[in-house]
Amino acid sequence: MKLSNKQATLLVLALLIAITPFFFPSSYYYRVGSLIFVNGIAVTGMVILIGYAGQISLGHAGFAGIGAYTCALAPVHLGLHPGLALVLGAVISAAMAWLIGRPILRLKGYYLGVATLGFGILVSMVLANERDITRGPDGIEVPDLGLRGLLKDMGLNLNNSEFWYGFTGLALLLGAWLALNLFNSPTGRALRALHGSEIAARTVGVDVARLKLQAFVISAVYASVSGSLLALQNKFITPDVAGYMHSIEMVTMAVLGGAGSVLGAIFGAGILTMLPQVLTVFAEYEQLMLGLVMMLVMIFMREGLLPSVLRLIRGRGE
């Protein structure tokens, strides 16, 4: 049986998520795993924006901030269940992306970069400064999702980090499945045409403005869900989730791993999430190493880590 690219990606991802826990020496590794999955979701959104549509955003953490703080605030102020708050956050992020995307996406390259950067900074500034609502830079607690208790009643007893490992893993699979379906759809093909050449795509009748907006809105929803899951998992969130560095992290993870493919980008999320954990031993060298990795990968492996590594393996086999 020949697997399609989509099936192969999902299979590899599912197997990795299911099998790696057998090698975990302690429950701490479940926590790192679920962090990778949460970042993986945001990065899958970046694949749609950067890898498919060829647009840049230096402010997507703004949407993660909206998702995270909706989960913190909606249950308290609106009496909403935290799970529904996640959905509400996604809806708000989508609406926001649609509103600002219309004027912003006319800009190109670095100009688009500075406009999205401005948006992200505005969101993190509001979160840090509106102390009456968000409690400011010190952060705010987030209510429990309640799903673990439900599973316990049904006879499935998981500890907290095991539960979040499984839950975010499933969410990542779902997100990857949706992104891969999009890739193979007519919209996905049109997006890739747009990436190749905007003018050429327009000439063959692609509605460029509408498509860019779609990719922007979809990637914003991914970022928002990722932010919500992070908040629900940690039961606490600070405005840093919307900060400039988090936006850069998202872009870097995607491009470093290989923004052209979902699996590559998630691989990048894995590497960059684990790097600080590995480097805690040399905490002083952490920044130095991170900067060095970013430069070396981008100079010597332009398509990203995973595609370059795969090519190397294939090249050996032939």
Partner 1 sequence: MPELMQFLLSGVTVGAVYALVALGFTIIYNASDVVNFAQGEFVMLGGMITVFAFKAGLPLPLAALIAVAVTAAIGVALNKLAIEPARGAPVVSLIIITIGASIFIRGVTQLVFDKQLHRFPAFSGDDPIRVLGATILPQSLWVIAGALAVFVGLWLFFTRTLMGKAILATSNNRLAAQLVGINTAWVMTLSFAMSAGIGALAGVLVTPITLVSYDVGIALALKGFAAAMLGGMGNPKGALVGGILLGLLEALTAGYISSQYKDAAAFIVILAVLFAMPQGLFGKKSTDRV
Say how far apart CA 128 and CA 122 lie, in whole Å.
10
Residue 287 CB, nearest approach to partner 1 (Å): 3
Stretch that binds partner 1, among 17-25, 156-164, 175-183, 280-288 (CB under 8 A): 280-288
| Nearest residue to 240 via CA among 80, 99, 62 | 62
Binding residue (CB under 8 A) for partner 1 from 122, 151, 208, 274: 122
Per CB under 8 A, 255 contacts partner 1: yes
Q: Beta partners for 140?
A: 237
Q: Which of 7, 27, 129, 184 binds partner 1 (CB under 8 A)?
A: 129
Question: Do the beta carbons of residue 232 and residue 82 sit within 8 Å?
Answer: yes
Tokens 């791993």 -> residue: 257
282 binds partner 1 per the rule CB under 8 A: no
Q: How many other CB atoms are found less than 10 A from the CB of residue 54?
A: 17
Query: What is the radius of gyration, based on Cα positions, of the chain?
Result: 19
283 lies in the binding site for partner 1 (CB under 8 A): no
User: Residue 104: CB partners within 8 Å, gap ≥ 6?
Assistant: 112, 115, 116, 119
Site map 180..199 versus partner 1, x via CB under 8 A = -----------------xxx
DSSP string, 39-108: HHHHHHHHIIIIIIT----S-THHHHHHHHHHHHHHHHHT---HHHHHHHHHHHHHHHHHHHHHHHTTS-
Question: Degrees (nearest 5) of the Cα angle 305, 309, 313?
Answer: 175
Nearest approach, Cβ of 83 to partner 1 (angstroms)? Answer: 32
Only one of the segments 91-99, 149-157, 229-237, 245-253 lies at the binding site for partner 1 (rule: CB under 8 A); that segment is: 245-253
Minimum distance between the CB of residue 126 and partner 1, rounded to whole angstroms? 8
How far apart are CB 110 and partner 1 at their closest, in Å?
A: 5
User: Of the two residues 57 and 187, which places its CB atom closer to partner 1 in the complex?
Assistant: 57
Touching partner 1, residues 291-310 (CB under 8 A) = 291-295, 298-300, 302
Check residue 240 for interaction with partner 1 (CB under 8 A).
no
Determine the angle formed by the axes of helices 305-317 and 244-257, rounding to 10 degrees. 10
Distance between CA 126 and CA 298 in Å, rounded? 34
Residue span binding partner 1 (CB under 8 A) among the ranges 14-22, 28-36, 270-278, 290-298: 290-298
**DSSP H or E segment with residue 141:** strand 140-141
Measured over the CA atoms of residue 196, residue 219, residue 37 and residue 250, the dihedral's sign is: positive
How many angstroms separate the CA atoms of 226 and 179, rounded? 15
Of positions 19, 26, 77, 103, contacts partner 1 by CB under 8 A: 103
For position 137 contacting partner 1 by CB under 8 A, the verdict is no
Give the binding range for partner 1 (CB under 8 A) out of 26-34, 142-150, 233-241, 248-256. Answer: 248-256
Among 236, 288, 311, 312, binds partner 1 (CB under 8 A): 288
By CB under 8 A, what part of segment 139-168 binds partner 1? Answer: none
Size of the site for partner 1 (CB under 8 A): 50
Torsion of CA 228, 230, 235, 236, to 10 degrees: -100
Decide whether 255 or 269 has the Cβ nearer to partner 1: 255
Instruction: Please report, as ranges, the residues that interact with partner 1 according to CB under 8 A.
Output: 50, 56, 58, 103-104, 106-111, 113-115, 117-119, 121-122, 125-126, 129, 197-200, 203, 244, 248, 251-252, 255-256, 259, 284-295, 298-300, 302
